[in-house]
Amino acid sequence: MIGLPSLLQLDQSSSMHGTRIWLAAHPADMRCGFDRLADLAGRVTDQDPTSGHLFLFRSRGGDRLKVLYWDRDGYALWYKRLEVGVFRFPAVPADAASVELRASELAMLLGGIDLRSVRRLPRYAKKK
């Protein structure tokens, strides 16, 4: 039988490597390149852009997404433009400059799931 990873396993695998995922709350200029996005990442998250974390930036129209990350010896930039539809980002508090996502939430976002309507229900957790 093929075992599929659970959302918890997906989330734990990224946290084991120390990778965090940050989404800028406000749209970014999609003309920005490595240096401007790195500067923006540091300002909106208070994190070091060379930390290895993923920094997500969305377009004003919501159909484009850029992901900036440090890859051992330089910045890497992943860019996606949807041909139809828009990304549905999670609700962000009005006063927040950024919000941290779980790896499972990023997977859902890229998979076309509306994160505004997703709720995590309480689950049992054994006390330590």
Question: Does residue 73 register a pLDDT over 70?
Answer: yes
Q: What is the model's pLDDT at position 13?
A: 64
13: left (phi over 0), alpha (psi -120 to 50) or beta: alpha
Q: What is the model's pLDDT at position 9?
A: 64
Judging by beta carbons within 10 Å of its beta carbon (0-12, 13-18, 19+), is residue 75 exposed, middle or buried?
middle
Determine how β-strand 54-58 pairs with β-strand 21-24: parallel
Q: What is the model's pLDDT at position 32?
A: 95
Closest CA to 112 of 75, 70, 62: 62
Residue 98 DSSP code = E
Which sign, positive or negative, has the C-alpha torsion 71, 49, 74, 69?
Answer: positive
Concatenated DSSP letters of 60-73 = TTSSEEEEEEE-SS
Predicted confidence (pLDDT) per residue in 39-71, tens digit:
999 999 999 999 999 999 999 999 999 999 999
Give the separation between CA 31 and CA 7, rounded to whole angstroms: 33
Give the separation between CA 128 and CA 117, rounded to whole angstroms: 32
